[in-house]
A and B are shown apart, each in its own frame.
Chain A
Amino acid sequence: MSSGSIVSSTCARCRPVKPVSVAAYPRLRAVAFRVAQSIPVVIGVVVISFLLTRTLPGDPAAYFAGAAADEASIAEVRKALGLDKPLIQQFFIYVGDLMQGDLGQSISSGRPVATDLASRLPASLELTLTALILSCGIAIPLGILAATRPGSWVDHLCRVLVTAGVSLPTFFTGIVLIYVFYYLLGIAPSPLGRLDFIYLDPDRVTGFYLIDAALMGDWETWRGAAKQLILPAITLALFTLAPIARMTRAAMLTALSSDFIRTARAAGLSRGTILYGYAFRNALLPVVTTLGMVFSFTLGANVLVEKVFAWPGIGSYAVEALVVSDYAAVQGFVLAMALLFVALNLVIDLLYTAIDPRIGFSSK
């Protein structure tokens, strides 16, 4: 956010439609470099989740063979699972399985873990994305307002929300919301899953009930799904509100006090142009960085919220698996979450180039 920003932010707005090839290549190389950077992380994630699966308490073979197994059948299972081979070899078998999308077999559902996760992922994503959109829609304007009017009631509200927000246990907020809106006021449906049993599930196209129902034109179901979604989404949104609002406010304050804003003001630009065209554009970078971190928290908090609202996503799948010690399912869940998060961080870093053309990955 130096004084040179005014040049680059105007450049960003009048970005040439056809980039000059000389300027395009470093950008492309930067993107390729960033993609390459995530490869060691993916390898690390796979190594850790392999170690997690192999450090099961006790003997995994005895566990998978079941309670009634004798020596011979345990040895058989050990051989079948490849547990008699050296660890390195086991690792490559594991990676080979992963390459084919094989995360092992879930004991409780009897289906491949990958299938289970894939069928429940849309429910989690629908919840998470709704919550993030909701909280960004509230937190970013709140942060901007607080930064433009320091000391006003908006600023104080922002500060209270920010400090209280990070102290809220998500599962507790969810329970309080259920008590108030379901038990006391009776305006929320019972917190049991994605859709009340009086509705039929919409035909699966994307797996997002809101989108699927809209595609079918079945607005009755759409409303039913939205009603179920709103409380868990608010719970998650309350949790993510604080860091986003805090960072927006801080970044806007920094941007608003920089030289280029003073120059823009002196040049007589309108308030709106200064605020959104210059200050917010420059404040967006730290906000997007925070979004990446917030997403990590959200994926964790998702587990708790899904348990509270009996939401049939991958979080509650993992909790159910934990209860019955279905380790393959838990580890598959952990791995899937990590890969999702790595991919998301990659997307966010690539977004930077779109938001701020000055950024170069090599300098990081």
Chain B
Amino acid sequence: MTDTPLKTTPKATGGFDHLIYVLRANPVTLLAFGMFALIMLSAILGPALVPYDPLQTNAAKALHPPSWDHWFGTDNVGRDVFSRVIVATRLDLWISVAAVALSFVVGSVLGCIAGYWGGWPDIVLNRILDTIMAFPLFVLAMGIVAALGNTIENIIYATAIINVPFYARLVRAEVNIRRSAGFAQAAKLSGNSDVRVLAMHIFPNALPPMMVQVSLNLGWAILNAAGLSFIGLGVRPPTPEWGIMVAEGANFIVSGEWWMAVFPGLWLMMAVFTFNLLGDGLRDIVDPRKRT
């Protein structure tokens, strides 16, 4: 997946027909788009729609199993698990989207510079990326958050840093193979500056494979952020967040109160699953030959 896809041939004509064809041939992708819409909806409208205040404790109703009043049950201090799960969507999505956007931008800029001009920036960048990739990525994220301080912003930065290599390498490869292509030279000859050729003519070619990467990456970023908060980094209780909720629920699972951990976990899984399906679907649309 992280290999440099050297030849992507997104067809300009018939792209929409192809999209319709892929969606019809692969109902799973359609389902993924539907689930994606649901997740976006609960991220945007969630806090307004949920039946209970996610922070409202109620000692009289602690640890109730799922019922009509509380679809996902209540936790050890009587908060409604369903409301917390839905409200958490926004935070989890925000962390991963912000992290992926950051690494997209930084990776693109670095990759463009290295791929277009080559020379020592290319060598230095590759060395740095190699070094980042030499760390087990989750462990590096732990180290970064521990060093920078235990806040949500630092979770975002850490997740962005460990994702940058994927984008930078992808863009570098895409830019590198096109830097002396005919259309780039033509653009250069007609008086465009290097930066303009790079930004307007060469870089857009890297976008389709980047989009696939973004989608696959989002799922992974959510997992990463949830994992970090599961071990107690970043998000602090009582903020609703999937990783923390699973961690809190884990204390009760051995005595049989399964709903506290299972529902946030399932929701997290569903979100990641959606982004992975979307990524696979997008890949089919962008590059049908890459199907495995």
CB–CB A178/B137 < 8 A: no
The smallest beta-carbon distance between A277 and chain B, in angstroms, is 24
Closest to B291 in A: A250
Chain A, residues 240-271, CB within 8 Å of chain B (1/0): the string is 00000010011001000000000000000000
Chain A, residues 47-79, CB within 8 Å of chain B (1/0): the string is 111011101110000000000000000000000
- Partner of A167 from the list B2, B127, B269 (CB cut-off 8 Å) is B269
Closest to B249 in A: A175
- Partner of A338 from the list B136, B230, B253 (CB cut-off 8 Å) is B136
Query: How many inter-chain contacts with C-beta < 8 Å in the A-B complex?
Result: 160
The smallest beta-carbon distance between B250 and chain A, in angstroms, is 5
Is A40 in contact with chain B by the CB < 8 A criterion? Answer: yes
Is B109 in contact with chain A by the CB < 8 A criterion? Answer: no
Chain B, residues 170-198, CB within 8 Å of chain A (1/0): the string is 00000000000000000000000000000
User: When A169-B265, A330-B142, A341-B136 are in contact, do A44 and B128 touch as well, CB less than 8 Å?
Assistant: yes
CB–CB B262/A176 < 8 A: yes
The smallest beta-carbon distance between A242 and chain B, in angstroms, is 10
When distances are taken between beta carbons in the complex, the residues of chain B under 8 Å from A307 are 230-231
User: When A163-B280, A169-B269 are in contact, do A304 and B254 touch as well, CB less than 8 Å?
Assistant: no
CB–CB B142/A41 < 8 A: no
CB–CB B142/A322 < 8 A: yes
Q: Classify the interface of chain B: helix, strand, loop or mixed.
A: helix
CB–CB B139/A52 < 8 A: no
User: When A179-B253, A334-B139, A338-B139 are in contact, do A322 and B232 touch as well, CB less than 8 Å?
Assistant: yes
When distances are taken between beta carbons in the complex, the residues of chain A under 8 Å from B136 are 296-297, 299-300, 337-338, 341
Closest to B28 in A: A163
CB–CB A164/B138 < 8 A: no
Most A CB within 10 A of own CB, among B2, B131, B261: B131
When distances are taken between beta carbons in the complex, the residues of chain B under 8 Å from A341 are 134-136
A-B contact list, 22 entries, CB within 8 Å = A45-B131, A48-B132, A51-B147, A52-B144, A163-B276, A166-B272, A167-B276, A169-B226, A171-B227, A172-B265, A175-B246, A183-B253, A293-B2, A297-B137, A299-B136, A299-B139, A300-B137, A300-B138, A300-B139, A303-B231, A327-B146, A331-B146
Given A45-B131, A337-B139, 15 new contacts (CB under 8 A): A164-B273, A169-B272, A171-B250, A172-B268, A175-B249, A179-B261, A299-B139, A300-B136, A300-B138, A301-B138, A303-B138, A303-B139, A322-B232, A331-B143, A331-B147
Interface residue ranges, B against A (CB under 8 Å)? 2, 127-128, 130-132, 134-140, 142-144, 146-149, 219, 223, 226-227, 230-233, 243, 246-247, 249-250, 253-256, 258, 261-262, 265-266, 268-269, 272-273, 276-277, 280, 292
